[in-house]
Chain A
Amino acid sequence: MDETALIESARSGDLNAFNRLVLEYQDMAFNLAARMLNDEDAAADVTQMAFLSAYRSLDSFRGGSFRAWVMRMVSNACYDELRRRKRRPTVSLEPVNEDDEEIESPAWLADDAPSPEDELERSELDQALQNCLTSLPEEFRAVVLMVDVEGLDYQEVSVSIGKPLGTVKSRLARARLKMRDCLSQYRELLPSVFRLDDEVTS
């Protein structure tokens, strides 16, 4: 069953059809939420709420990119969580290892890197990137994540954030400039990262 048929079935109350769509987009949704909030527990809650909200407001989907529509639900839920945090600031617990020592590079962020050294480099890169993303304003952060991390095109991002194309281009350019300036601070700390980078861009 293709996506359009699943959506129509879900609209008529077929929960199983909707859950198939959830399975299709949950990784993307969770990744966006985790990068936006820099907190995986909060990201899980936000992702669940976003899908529940999406099911309840399925009638408001007027066609087009369903992926963009799901991203819109997730980003709105992330904004709500960030506003809630501002109203009630909480101290996030730093991850600790078995010896109750803080882990600078969270182990659960590790992916299927072939070697520990590569894994460490990727973890450090991930941490650097996450730090720079967190330093961005929320609206810039969402745009750069959608385009550069999730691979959405400008039109889909425009639908997701509810802004015109010109705004998307402007925010993306400014977000990349800020990321450039922020990541340049890590150049001295992580020179090997840029060796990796040279391999990618060359």
Chain B
Amino acid sequence: MRAQLSNRDYEQLSAYLDGQLAPGDKRKLEERLRVRPELQAALDELSQTRALIRMAPRRKAPRNFTLTPAMVGDTGPSRKRSAGGIFSLFPALSFASAIATLVLVATLVFELGPGGLQTPAMQTQTELQQAEAPEMRAMEAQPTEAAAGGEAPSIMAVPAEEGSSAKAGADQVDGPIVVWGDPYNSAPPEMGGMGGGMSGGAPDGRGGGGGMGGGPGSMGGGAPDGTILIPQEGIASLETESAVGEEAAPQAAAPDPATNEPAGTPVAESPQQPPAGDGFMDGGPILGLPSDEQSGEIVGQSSQGQPVPGVIEQPPAAPADAFEPEQETRQDGLDARTAIERPGPLGLSFLRWLQILLVLVAISSGLAAFLVRRRARS
């Protein structure tokens, strides 16, 4: 009856039989063999088995297995060495294929990244924003100076020579004038800069960024239909101007003394005169906060051909859904992305040409590596 030994025991006994045990393990096993008869019996059986196997007759080769030139053909080791240049290309080809694939994936990730693919409407808006960027920066600087001076200008006056774009735009404006919030005090932070201009057209009229002139978001004074948005205090100024005439013009103007707009020109005819004192009670022209009743109210209509002094004409705004706050943070990336995606030869952008090239490189190098590998194995 054989003793139940572990596989580990049999491995040690087998290796001990062949003299393949380390000296330390051999000494330990010999000690165990002295005290465990079943271990010795197992060793004896393995030794007997090995002896039997060694008794198996050796079978001689029935013939010579030497090679002839016909057998070998032209696939000897020397010929393979001469063609080794081809086989040595396998690592390079496979590496090139892998790299091309990785770069292709990277370009796809870049294209489909957080900026995402731009729809045509978004691309148009991007271009508009870029075109308006220099004007935005100039206008942003002006209310800052006014605020630093402790004044709350009602309307951002742009000198005639600087407001050429404004004047050009103003000539084309023919839309209602909507009361808007205070561009300096009530404009939300995220509405600064380019993006603020777009979001200035909030329906409730309280965005504040849509204020005229230099406020952040002053560009947003335009509604999609070309409506001009002016701050509350500007309306008050306009009203005063219309009543007083030229005396109201300097107040309507920005602190810039260079402004010499004809103040006598009526800015607008307000269809509805706000009740006296309402502006003060509700914040009025000083605080610049329109009342709830006045927010969104159309206070005047500009006549065609008569620019509203100090009013910066805004181009028609893009759809509201394009004025996401996230657009601001992507502006820098959009610039780079626009450059890459600008149509090139055959109408394909640089990025697309790059992707096509990478695909060709990956496929061709991978196919070449496969063919080289296949030839090496044959």
Contacts and interface: CB of A to CB of B under 8 A. Distances in A.
A12 interface: yes
A18 B14 contact: no
A22 B79 CA distance: 20
A12 B78 CA distance: 5
Interface string B50-71: 1111111111111111110101
B45 interface: yes
A77 to B, nearest CB: 12
B77 interface: yes
Contact of B45 (A18, A35, A153, A180): A180
Nearest to B61: A30
Interface residues on B, range: 35 or more
B102 to A, nearest CB: 31
Contacts of A59: 77, 80-81
B170 interface: no
A196 interface: yes
B49 interface: yes
Interface string A121-151: 0100110011000000000000010011100
Given A30-B60, A173-B10, A129 B52 contact: yes
A11 B77 contact: yes
B47 to A, nearest CB: 6
Given A34-B59, A169-B14, A52 B53 contact: no
Interface in B21-52: 45-52
Max chain A C-beta neighbours (<10 A), residue from B14, B15, B78, B80: B14
B7 A174 contact: yes
A154 interface: yes
A13 B78 contact: yes
B72 A180 contact: no
B65 A48 contact: yes
B262 to A, nearest CB: 96
Contact of A52 (B15, B67, B80): B67
A196 B55 contact: yes
Interface in A158-202: 169-170, 172-174, 176-177, 179-180, 183, 193, 196-197, 200-201
18 contacts: A10-B77, A18-B67, A26-B61, A26-B64, A30-B61, A31-B60, A56-B75, A111-B58, A125-B52, A129-B53, A148-B50, A153-B20, A154-B15, A154-B20, A176-B49, A193-B52, A197-B51, A201-B48
